[in-house]
Chains A and B, each alone.
Chain A
Amino acid sequence: MIANKVVLRFASSLVGQPIIYHLVKEYDLVINILKADINPHQEGYVVLELSGDSENYNRGLKYLRDIGVEVEPLSGTIAWNRDRCLQCGACTSFCPVGALQLTRPEMEVRFEESKCIVCKSCLDVCMARAVEVRF
């Protein structure tokens, strides 16, 4: 038996496919959707709690990867260091979920941890290295 929290990210070409249905029906996995954003014109992501017997779990993950879904474990949390932040806002255009956002018209960078899916897209685009992963 394996149970893990994972982040699935997929391109717009995959958004039309009933991926979750296949995971349940063909791999007999138990799925608890923690967070999701699927937009028919953009890439989508789903944060899942995924459990099942280890063979099915691994086959299910292989199925996901074979069709082009990026699967990453949900690990750690993102810490945003306000004092290090230069307030440029570069990170906000890389954050897929709007957890890092620029307020307008103030143009102030804000971080809402509850929206963060720990995809780490912000880490290396921050010129001040003001975001880091904490475990």
Chain B
Amino acid sequence: MAIEKTYEEINARIKRGEAVVVTAEEIIEIVAEKGVEQAAREVDVVTTGTFGTMCSSGVFLNFGHTKPRIKMNKVYLNGVPAYGGIAAVDAYLGATALPESDPENRVYPGRFLYGGGHVIEDLVAGKPVKLEATGYGTDCYPRRRIETWITLSHINDAILFNPRNAYQNYSVAVNLSNRTIYTYMGVLKPNLGNASFSTSGQLSPLMNDPYYKTIGVGTRIFLGGGIGYVAWHGTQHNPCVPRGENGVPLTGAGTLALIGDLKQMKPEWLRGTSYLGYGASLAVGVGIPIPILNEEILLYTTVKDEDLYATIQDYSSDYPNREGSNLGRVSYAELRSGKITVMGKEVPTTPLSSYLKAREIAEILKEWIRSGSFLLTEPVQLLPSVDSGIALKGLEEKKNNG
């Protein structure tokens, strides 16, 4: 008889402290040992995790009103500009924002030691952050300038809102040129000197739910060490790409927009990062629970690194010029072994996301659910999937508006 469970049944078991929760690593062996049917009957939730740099991240802030009031037009936090083009004392600080005084790549390769991601880490760590803002003065907001210090606990709101996180698979980056290049995939040594990659493979959230059957709008998740939610599909969500026999995309595909209250997050899981010659960003910890509603959903969570493939791309020419060509595919088991073979050459691999921390996130989420403090939510809307017809658009230059 086919196993069918509902969110309500699983949550009732979580509340009674009876839920069986395992990580996306552990489920592989459990199914190998017990078979799909018995495992689907016994296991209620599989937890996933990922921890790496996710550039499309940032935080909405409300500072509270000054006396007299100001309508903040330009806003800086520790010298890093935030977007002030919303209501009077609201702003959005993006992870890759840089102080105007940053030399960027004028001294190449730039070091980008402090940017928006670092301000977010400082805020979460409870450190005082310098706020400077100017306005043009209105009858209702007469003040023109404010310079003060804020801390996370003393401002009204800090809502982490990341428009694109948790990429479902990603390219492996190599450098075919004869000079070192500095990219968002890290430093790439010349002549295939190394190959960088950035997903947690068999632990990664969307690798374990390839058709978005349980992860959707409203899914409660681990975000930055606290609780967050899937707000929408992420920008560049691209489900209609080639997939393997297991249903998992062979290139970058689905993405998630995530939201949560920054005040309950932890600096350990939101970390400012600096990419030589590229820029500043934010490493985000994300963990998503997958309810085992039936055998099909269980089967998706049993994917192994050996069966997950990434596509190799040249970042010296093909990527910057938006050429679609690739240099073949390689499994996550090979990537994690430390060496892969590209064009007949043995190439050391450079991991950019932490597998160890991904596992730790899956373990933390497992404990939250086991202890009854974290209940699962049924999506209020599913994400666009393979039948959506989505095709990513490029941006073309036009000479006129016709």
Partners in one complex: yes
Query: A residues touching B (Cβ–Cβ < 8 Å)?
Result: 86-90, 93-94, 102, 104, 106-109, 124-125, 127-129
Give chain A residues whose Cβ lies under 8 Å from the Cβ of B281.
127
List of 6 A-B pairs having minimum Cβ-Cβ separation, nearest first: A107-B355, A127-B273, A87-B354, A93-B350, A89-B351, A87-B356
State A38–B349 Cα separation when bound (angstroms): 22
Contacts known (A86-B51, A90-B196, A107-B336); A128 close to B353, Cβ less than 8 A: no
Contact A93 to B349, CB < 8 A, known contacts A108-B356, A124-B187: yes
- B338 within 8 Å of A (CB atoms): yes
Beta-carbon contact of B187 and A86 below 8 Å: no
Complex alpha-carbon distance, A109 and B352, angstroms: 12
Q: Which residues in B have their C-beta under 8 angstroms from that of A104?
A: 336-338
Q: What is the bound-complex CA distance between A104 and B350, given in angstroms?
A: 14
User: Quick check: A128 and B351 within 8 Å, CB to CB?
Assistant: no
Known interface pairs A88-B353, A124-B187; 10 further A-B residue pairs with C-beta atoms within 8 A, sorted by A's residue number: A87-B51, A88-B351, A89-B355, A90-B352, A93-B194, A93-B338, A94-B350, A102-B338, A107-B354, A127-B273
Question: Is B130 part of the binding interface, using a Cβ–Cβ cutoff of 8 Å?
Answer: no
A residues near B168, Cβ cutoff 8 Å:
none
A87 pairs with B350, CB closer than 8 A: no
Q: Is the CB of A127 within 8 A of B274?
A: yes
Question: Inside 8 A of B348's CB, which chain A residues have their CB?
Answer: 93
Assess the B274–A125 pair: CB atoms within 8 A.
no
Interface residues on B, range: 20 to 34
Partner of A128 from the list B273, B336, B349, B350 (CB cut-off 8 Å) is B273
Bound Cα distance A90, B271 (Å):
16
Please encode chain B, from 47 to 85, with 1 for each CB lying within 8 Å of some chain A CB and 0 for all others: 000011100000000000000000000000000000000
Q: What is B's interface to A at a CB cutoff of 8 Å? A: 51-53, 109, 111, 113, 186-187, 194, 196, 271, 273-276, 281, 283, 336-338, 348-357, 359
How far apart sit A102 and B356, CA to CA, in the bound complex (Å)?
A: 10
- Pick the contact of B354 from A86, A93, A124, A129 — CB < 8 Å? A86
CB closest residue in chain B, given A130: B271
Q: Is the CB of A88 within 8 A of B187?
A: no
B186:A86 contact, CB within 8 angstroms: no
Separation of A11 and B196 alpha carbons in the complex (Å):
23
Chain B residues, CB < 8 A from A94: 187, 194, 350
A–B pairs, 25, beta carbons within 8 Å? A86-B283, A86-B354, A87-B51, A87-B356, A87-B357, A88-B352, A88-B353, A89-B350, A89-B355, A90-B186, A90-B351, A93-B348, A94-B187, A94-B194, A102-B351, A104-B338, A106-B356, A107-B336, A109-B356, A124-B109, A124-B111, A124-B187, A125-B186, A127-B275, A127-B283
CA distance A93 to B271 in the complex (A): 22
Chain A CB within 10 Å, residue with most, of B53, B186, B356: B356
Q: Do B349 and A88 touch (CB < 8 A)?
A: no
CA distance A90 to B352 in the complex (A): 6
Measured between alpha carbons, how far is A129 from B348 in the docked complex, in Å?
Answer: 22
Pick from B113, B337, B354: contact of A88, CB below 8 A.
B354
* Minimum C-beta distance from B331 to chain A (A): 15
Q: A108 to chain B: which residues have CB within 8 Å? A: 356
Q: Known: A87-B357, A90-B351, A104-B338. Contact between A128 and B271, CB under 8 A?
A: yes
* Complex CA–CA separation, A107 to B53 (angstroms): 18
Distance in angstroms between the alpha carbons of A86 and B350 in the assembled complex: 14
Q: Are B194 and A129 in contact (CB under 8 A)?
A: no
Residues of B contacting A109 in the complex (Cβ-Cβ under 8 angstroms): 356
Q: Is the CB of A86 within 8 A of B271?
A: yes
Residue in chain B with minimal CB distance to A105? B336
Q: How far is the CB of A100 from chain B (nearest CB, A)?
A: 12
B196 touches A86 (CB 8 A): no
Chain B residue with the shortest CB-CB distance to A126: B274
CB of A86 within 8 A of CB of B357, answer yes
- With A and B bound together, what is the CA distance between A88 and B53 in angstroms? 10
CB distance from A119 to the nearest CB of B (A): 14
Chain B residues with CB under 8 Å of A86's CB are 51, 271, 273, 283, 354, 357
A94→B357 CA distance, assembly (Å): 21
* Contact of B187 with A125 in the complex, beta carbons under 8 Å: yes
Name the distance in Å between A87's Cβ and chain B's nearest Cβ.
4
Bound CA span A125–B180, Å: 12
Evaluate contact between A125 and B357: CB separation under 8 angstroms: no
